[in-house]
Amino acid sequence: MIGNLKVISSLWLFMFFNMSFFGQQLNEDFKIKIQPVFNEETLQKKHWYISETGDSIQFNKVRFYITDFKFDLAKNTQQEIINNAVLVDAFDEKTLLKTLKIPLNRKGGGLQFSLGISGDLSESGALSGDLDPTNGMYWAWQSGYINMKIEGLSPSCPTRKNKFTFHIGGFQKPYPTIRSLSFPIKENQKEITLVVDVATFLNEVDLKENHSVMIPGEKASKLADLSVKMFDVK
């Protein structure tokens, strides 16, 4: 009887270490490098830029959430990294690199993710980490999270101190502001550079007429449609 127990114990130990070893081998690192720019120029805080419409523009805040990453796998399946929320601050270098653990059996295909916070996460209440309300990206449980903030100055704005303020968020119908993005990746690719060109957004906004959005609604939804045009990969 004691001999049988020793054999069983040895088998369990063998299985445990093999599962641990292979479990470690099932995943690899995939890096997302985020590169904020204005046209092809590195985005800098309180630096003056000129838009295609001739507006002089200076930024003091550019922040946004990317969430719910998905990778194409073999046999037409996907690996979902759900509720994985990343708060990116264009002026905080620590937030410009995200490393994901993804399965080795992925195939060349695509990386998908969301720009913004889902309704489920918004309704779950105050959370921690990048979703902590102290980060300044949360309105209230009725309105949810602010998916993107773009703030700055422009002489074109007929506002106090020429400020523009775009707080794009809201998850409730008929104007949800979460948006999906998808980019191709190769089978053995282990990183991408996600270029975020803020000029693409500002070039389509008339700062003389539209310079402040701070609540959910139709205007926020239309700006969310514009915001996805800012993203590309290289």
Using a pLDDT cut of 90, give the percent of the chain over it. Answer: 64
Q: What is the DSSP letter of 6?
A: H
pLDDT band for 76, please (50, 70, 90 cuts): low
In DSSP notation, 15-62 reads HHHHHHHHHHHTEEEEEEEEEEEETTEEP-TT-EEE-TTS-EEEEEEE
In this prediction the pTM is 0.85
- The answer to whether the CB of 30 falls within 8 A of the CB of 69 is no
What rounded mean pLDDT belongs to the chain? 85
Strand 212-213, strand 163-169: pairing: parallel
**5 pLDDT above the threshold of 90:** no
- The answer to whether the CB of 192 falls within 8 A of the CB of 185 is yes
How far is residue 148's CA from residue 214's CA, in Å, rounded to a whole number?
11
pLDDT at 20: 40
pLDDT at 91: 98
**4 pLDDT above the threshold of 80:** no
Question: What residue spans define the domains of the chain?
Answer: 27-233
**156 pLDDT above the threshold of 80:** yes
- The count of other CB atoms within 10 Å of the CB of residue 54 is 7
With tokens 């939804």, the residue in question is 221
User: Average of pLDDT values for 175-182?
Assistant: 96
